Structure 1
Amino acid sequence: WVLAKLIQFLVLQKAPAPVSRERRQFLTLVGLGSATILVTATGISLMDEDESVPVTGDGVNGLPDVNASTTSGPAQSPPAGELNNRIEPAPGTRPELTANENFYRIDINTIPPSVNGETWRLAVGGLVDNPLELTLEEIRSRPAHSQAITLECISNRLAGDLISTSMWTGVRLKDILEEAGLRQGAQEVYIESADGFYESVPMSDAMDESTLLVYEMNGEALPEPHGFPLRIYIPNRFGMKQPKWITRMEVIDHEGAGYWVERGWSDTAIPPTTSVIDTVAADSAESGSNGANGRVLPVGGIAYAGARGISKVEVQVDDGPWEAAELRDPPLSPLTWVQWRYEWAAQPGQHTFRVRAYDGNGDPQPTEGSEPHPAGATGIHSVSERISE
């Protein structure tokens, strides 16, 4: 009872003030076997205590092949040959594709709703000529599109783990709306979910060819904790704008409400450009022509800028110059993070590594540090590492 009341108080605040990281993720509430519930400023996070991570895609460990033959649309992945010819990520870099069980979760309730897929219906109404009520099978019978995407929670701290990448399959929202027939004056699509969540999607996002009503995740039926039977994916938006367990969509002629917007978070929720150091692979130093005793040490991580892509990543060691890292290019899709690798001429001692990125337009990431509230964390990520002789 105490736990339930505490969660209810923290989650249902109408207008939370900006908070520090310590308060935003201030308390491990309770252990549940191999998992832990955390309360964040944007809901309930169920985190797996097993930090081992499976290797990336290509049919390994149940993860799907992601390439031009398994994806489609404007976010179609590159051919398999191009992906196979890329550089190797630095040892210790997070996988390029996230297994379903490791994909982050932020919910407004401690227990996700259980929806009966047999009786579930998607209602589409409002300013449409032909209101729809579709079963899951009817949705699955329509032309499907698959694309690799990265999704991030707006409450993710700099270098936090509330960001994941998956291959999602579904129907284009655009196709469903055109089937329903949009009436004059349609401005937004108001969406309701089985868990009480709601969000309103501007028509420009709703009609984007990469916006999907998703029913599969990494080649499997959408898992219940991630929104079964149907969730939405909208490019270039944080997860706070993307409902799961969708039950109803209403086309409206005005700006609609949003659950987290009403609680003080960004109305646009566009992810800023960020970059992260995942690994300084001190145990993987290799012989080279430079550095102490000719050792070259790989440093690696990810960079992400929503649908804008990444054009460049640079690394600085101590007070030295910023130097270009090598991108693992092309990425899985235009909608995913990019892995990068930097070969450092290793020197013994304590060293600080920093990283910065530029989006696909060539614009640098924000360097001034900011908390996640209200529009997402920004700043330069750094790590310190002692390098042995």
Structure 2
Amino acid sequence: MISRRHAALAGVVAAVVALGTAEPVAVLTGPRSAPLIAVGGVVVDLVPEPLKQFAIAVFGTYDKIALLVGTALLLAGFAALLGLAAARRLVVGLAGIAAFAVLGVAAALTRPGADAFDALPSLVGAGLGGLTLWAFVAGPLSPDPAGADRKRPGQGPDRAGVDRARAGQGPDRHEVDLADGEQAGAPRSTPPPPPAAAAFAREEETPGGWEPARHDVPESRRRFLRGVGLLTGAAAVAGLGGHWLAGRRGVSAAREAVTLPAPATPAPPVPTGADLSLPRLAPYVTPNREFYRIDTALVVPQVDPVTWRLRIHGRVRNPIELSFDDLLARPMVERYVTLACVSNEVGGDLIGNARWLGVPIKELLDEADPEEGADQVVGRAVDGWTCGTPTSVLRDGRDALLAVGMNGEPLPVQHGFPVRMVVPGLYGYVSACKWVTELELTSFADFDAYWVPRGWSAQGPVKTQSRIDTPRARSRPAAGPVTVAGVAWAQHRGVRRVEVRVDDGPWREATLAPAVSTDTWVQWSWRWDATPGEHTLQVRATDAAGETQPERRSPVAPDGATGWHTVTVTVA
């Protein structure tokens, strides 16, 4: 039997081979069919909501990477246990791999849009993983493959000699006398056993037979470790190669080939002074590469604009289907709109402002002609994710868009290429459907979108909020004039006033920078004559309707966080 350390390592290598070899197969069937991604997607759907919020709070936009790494670590632990089990009974380890294959197949087949071919990556990976486990535990790469290193007949001294060596008797006394040249009757001493017998004396007899002699073990271990290195390297190359090929099959080239039409209604220019350009203050317009991304997709959907279609159906009198070219042929509207995630904590950065280009959703809904009572528009992404937006909001005249452009270029793939929804004044979980392929008219009474059964409110208007960007918490500004600055937002209502206070003192009104419209955030600043010592700064905003954000802290669930952003600094 191989050692526990080797058995655990064999199980881990088998898992690496299974996952690595599944990736090239997933190039053909789609990246969502890869076992790690498929199982991870099920985890995202089933994990308790508090745990999701914890992951977002801790890892932010890196929550998906953290999930995949955590899943891989759990898999490694499970694989090590399978290796230990296989060392005792190989069939148990192989059964564990088969169980993992069933899990991977089930996860892949239950994803939206899956077909029978999506089972192939898990099946192929599990088959090669099982073969690897056998090779290391009982096959040619095992440190003890079916007794290959054990003593065989004809090797070393005979058993009788070994028995005498174990009993300390040594060889025949007459042979010793002759070897030592002793005379008859002379005192005799017991000589040490010969080297071969001594080697056997160091061996241990087990119920399974003779274990390898110590001088044979290093070579078998070297063979084992060589196998570990070669198979792990080959699996890594296969996995990375599969990932690279999947990227080559992606839509980056198709995105680069898209030429956006000029807007029929351009966005108003950004007013002079809207961006205060202060260190550590978020810019008025968020660059695409810095725009937050929170969604449930572990792999970014790759949607070819040539085959993309949008269906507007359900409770409508005139169902519509559009191609990407059909959409681009319509008059385009360009607007600056700030989007915010409902998971944004007080003072958080899951918010950004961009210039969007798209077709007004109102026009499309007017053409589809919703029936009476169809008070919800369900946006459905290509991966099956759904959001429910009030029909009235999409038809009340605000700049709700089916966007195709972001900051002057086609939508980045991770932000919904080729088409996504942008709705001012609503949190993203009820409006910002990326990779959208359907708009279904229904009612809130008849359908709950993705997040509603998970404890979130069916409707999510953005709450009035403000944030201090500078000075940062725990910073050490110098005594004297200090510029306190940040951003505030109340999309589709607008910010009327921002106030700052120090150490529970009186509220002081900050200066608001100009903004493009009420649909974007606004920068603010206030001059503080800082004195040495530790100080607490707080900010609050009041929207155009006269509603001031509440002091009471509330969590992000079920409809967005509340509270005053507070930072503590030490003035030198």
Interval containing the TM-score (normalised by the shorter chain):
0.7 to 0.9
Q: 2:496 aligns with which of 311, 331, 334?
A: 311
Cα shift at 1:200: 2.6
Name the CA shift for 1:314/1:206 in 2 (closer, same or farther; >3 Å).
same
Query: Is structure 2 residue 397 aligned with structure 1 residue 211?
Result: no
Contact map agreement 1:231 1:243 (CA 8 A) in 2 = yes
Contact map agreement 1:186 1:252 (CA 8 A) in 2 = yes
Give the distance between the partners of 1:27 and 1:127, measured in 2 at CA: 40
Give the distance between the partners of 1:179 and 1:347, measured in 2 at CA: 62
Name the CA shift for 1:344/1:244 in 2 (closer, same or farther; >3 Å).
same
Within a 5 Å distance, the mapping from 1:1-389 to structure 2 comes to: 7-8=40-41, 10-13=43-46, 16=49, 18=50, 22=54, 25-26=57-58, 37-38=65-66, 72=265, 77=268, 83-85=271-273, 88=276, 90-209=278-397, 210-241=399-430, 242-252=432-442, 255=445, 256-280=447-471, 295-329=480-514, 331-388=515-572
For residue 371 of structure 1, what is the amino acid of its counterpart?
P
Contact map agreement 1:158 1:378 (CA 8 A) in 2 = yes
Contact map agreement 1:91 1:284 (CA 8 A) in 2 = no
| 3-state secondary structure, aligned to 1:204 | helix
Give the distance between the partners of 1:225 and 1:335, measured in 2 at CA: 23
Structure 1, residues 285-335: CA drift from partner, whole Å, max 9, x if none? Answer: 7xxxxxx6xx32101001112322111111111232110110112x13211
Give the distance between the partners of 2:391 and 2:291, measured in 1 at CA: 28
Give the distance between the partners of 1:29 and 1:178, measured in 2 at CA: 36
Give the distance between the partners of 2:308 and 2:51, measured in 1 at CA: 39
Contact map agreement 1:14 1:263 (CA 8 A) in 2 = no
Q: Which runs of 5+ in 1 are unaligned?
A: 40-68, 286-291
Name the CA shift for 1:237/1:27 in 2 (closer, same or farther; >3 Å).
closer
Cα shift at 1:246: 0.9
Cα shift at 1:213: 0.7
Alignment RMSD, CA only? 3.1
| 3-state secondary structure, aligned to 2:393 | helix
| 3-state secondary structure, aligned to 1:385 | strand
Name the CA shift for 1:84/1:25 in 2 (closer, same or farther; >3 Å).
closer
Give the distance between the partners of 2:336 and 2:508, measured in 1 at CA: 29
Structure 1, residues 144-201: CA drift from partner, whole Å, max 9, x if none? Answer: 1111111111111111121111111101111112223334443322221101101232
Greater relative CO (CA pairs within 8 A, separation 6+): 1
For residue 523 of structure 2, what is the amino acid of its counterpart?
Q
For residue 361 of structure 2, what is the amino acid of its counterpart?
L
For residue 174 of structure 1, what is the amino acid of its counterpart?
K
Which structure has the highest helix share of the two? Answer: 2
Give the distance between the partners of 1:125 and 1:246, measured in 2 at CA: 14
| 3-state secondary structure, aligned to 2:326 | helix
Q: Sequence identity of aligned pairs in percent? A: 38
Match of 2:113 in 1: none
| 3-state secondary structure, aligned to 2:414 | helix
Aligned length: 341
Match of 2:202 in 1: none
For residue 100 of structure 1, what is the amino acid of its counterpart?
N
Structure 1, residues 246-294: CA drift from partner, whole Å, max 9, x if none? Answer: 1122223564321011211121112221111000288997xxxxxx6xx
Contact map agreement 2:263 2:334 (CA 8 A) in 1 = yes
Cα shift at 1:106: 1.0
For residue 367 of structure 1, what is the amino acid of its counterpart?
E
Cα shift at 1:38: 4.4
For residue 114 of structure 1, what is the amino acid of its counterpart?
Q
Cα shift at 1:26: 4.4
Cα shift at 1:22: 4.9
Give the distance between the partners of 2:38 and 2:381, measured in 1 at CA: 23
Contact map agreement 2:275 2:523 (CA 8 A) in 1 = no
Contact map agreement 2:388 2:448 (CA 8 A) in 1 = yes
Contact map agreement 2:360 2:401 (CA 8 A) in 1 = yes
Match of 1:64 in 2: none
Whose radius of gyration is greater, 1 or 2? 2
Give the distance between the partners of 1:283 and 1:89, measured in 2 at CA: 21
Contact map agreement 1:124 1:133 (CA 8 A) in 2 = yes
Which structure has the highest strand share of the two? Answer: 1
What is the TM-score when the length of structure 1 is the normalising length?
0.79
Give the distance between the partners of 1:308 and 1:15, measured in 2 at CA: 34
